[in-house]
Structures are given as C-alpha cells and as structure tokens.
Amino acid sequence: MKVIILAGGYGSRLSEETNLKPKPLLEIGEKPIIWHIMKLYSHYGFNDFVICLGYKGYLIKQYFQNFLLHQNDIQINLKENKLSIIGKNISEPWNIQLIDTGLNSQTGLRIKKSLKYVQDDTFMLTYGDGVADINIKKLLKHHKLSKKLATITAVKPPGRFGALVTNKKIVSSFEEKPSGDGQLINGGFFVLNKQIENYIQKGNIVWEKQPLENLAKNKELSFFHHTGFWQPMDTLRDKNLLNDLWDSNKAKWKVWK
C-alpha cells in the first residue's frame, strides 16, 4: 500500500531554517523529520512511499540518493575509484518515488498529480512535518470498518503555554502545557480510497478546503481519534521541543527499535 507524503511546501513560518533546506529535511536528533515519519510507517509494515516534492525538492532527492552515505561508515579508494561500506550496512526496506509536483502547487493538486503512482484502491497520506505515536494498523482497520472514502486522524493540539491552576484567588499549582481548548483538529495521517480523486476538482486546489469539506458534506469522511502524542514542526519552538524530547529519550513517536 502506498504512503503519499506531502513535502513540497515553503515552510515559511520556519524561514530561518527553510531558507537553506525544505522543512521535511529539518533534523530531529541528526535525522530529517521525514525520516522519522517514514520510520513510523515502516514499523507497521508500510514501506512503499510517494514523496510529493516542490520547494527545494532536489535536496530531498539528494538526501535519499545518498542515503547509504548518510547512514554508514564508508571507505573510498581513490586509485580504483571505488566506494564501499565499512562494517554493517545500515539501510531501510523502503521503495521511494520522488515526484516533482510543482513549486507553487497546493496540497490538492499535489495529491492529484501523485495518484497515477497509486495502484491499490486504498492508500495513505500524511504531511512531511509532523510526528505522532499513532498506531497505523489500527488507523487502517478503522478506515476499512467505516466503509467511507476517507478517514482523517483527529487530535487535540498541544498547549503552547503552561496554565495556572487557581483556587480562591491564589495559585494552587501549575499545569504544564495543557491541551488546547478541547476542540479536535486535523492531525494528518489519512487513509483514503482512490475515488477521492473525484473530489479534487481541476486547478490549484487546497485539499483541506473544498475536497475535505465536500467529503464531510456527503458523509464520506470518518475520523480516527488519536489520543496519544502528536506534534507538528510549524515553528522554531516546535523544532527545539522535538529535539529536546529526542535528546532526553522522551520521543514518544519513536515506536521502532
């Protein structure tokens, strides 16, 4: 089953970092966030990826082209013009199609352009800038049982600030970063039937607007409520938080060994 990853945006809210590289290549613990996302899917047996490229997409191509160089120690024999891996060959069982879906394409158009690489009736879709400890197999099972065209993962956004717990005009304690206002939001991690292509009209369309709204209107959009860890990398603060969690061995999204 194909996993489509949207990795073509400008990442403008992280411009201090994305001036040099696309957001999916920003690192958590010396590995790009897209690697973390792919490791999650791979842990559950999904290893066939279509990556939708746009802004600085050539750098993502270069990363995967040189993947073994990033992962391994190497030996270079200049006289014989030969490169070899030293010791254990660290790799991944991934089949990756890297597709240029346009510099200024919106998410709907990127999806539409990538569907020709999807052979099965069902496929997965996510963004290249967020991690979670979501159980992908349970998500897929939920989608199949729903018998809908699309399933969206619903999450509560993490709180940005610590909250004061008050009692009779005094502060009784602090609650660290409670969840937002209790409303569920789009957490990415979709499972979709290929017929959703009928909901993506011609033009440079945003997936999260008309297509999802019409799927909901036609009662073809189910939701999988994920109550575990979920965190996007939208800002420098988010990036630093994810790196702090990784460095302190508290990265809940690391479900693989």
Tens digit of each residue's pLDDT (9 = 90 or more) over 142-189: 999 999 999 999 998 887 655 566 666 665 555 655 565 668 899 999
Out of 34-38, 85-89, 108-112, 247-251, least confident range:
85-89
Average pLDDT rounded to a whole number, residues 5-12: 97
**pLDDT tens-digit series, residues 203-257:** 999 999 999 999 999 999 999 999 999 999 999 999 999 999 999 999 999 999 9
**Is residue 242 within a helix (H) or strand (E), and if so which, with residue range?**
helix 236-247
Q: Dihedral, CA atoms, 231, 232, 238, 240, nearest 10 degrees? A: 80
User: Does position 123 have pLDDT exceeding 70, yes or no?
Assistant: yes
Q: Among residues of the chain, what percentage have pLDDT more than 90?
A: 88
Distance of alpha carbon 124 from its chain centroid, rounded?
11
**pLDDT tens-digit series, residues 46-75:** 999 999 999 999 999 999 999 999 999 999
pLDDT at position 175: 61
- In the numeric block, which tokens belong to residue 118? 């999807």
Domain ranges across the chain: 2-155+183-247
- In the numeric block, which tokens belong to residue 255? 């479900």
- In the numeric block, which tokens belong to residue 230? 């979920």
Q: What is the spatial distance between Cα 248 and Cα 253, in angstroms, rounded to a whole number?
A: 13
- Who's near 94: CB < 8 A, 6+ residues apart? 38, 42, 47, 48, 49
Average pLDDT rounded to a whole number, residues 109-125: 97
The residue whose two tokens read 């969690």 is 245
Q: Among residues of the chain, what percentage have pLDDT more than 70?
A: 91
pLDDT at position 183: 84
What CATH number has the domain spanning 2-155+183-247? 3.90.550.10
Average pLDDT rounded to a whole number, residues 89-115: 97
Query: In Å, how far are 10, 23, 55 from 112, measured between CA atoms?
Result: 19, 22, 18
Cα first-last separation, the chain: 23
Q: What is the spatial distance between Cα 87 and Cα 74, in angstroms, rounded to a whole number?
A: 9
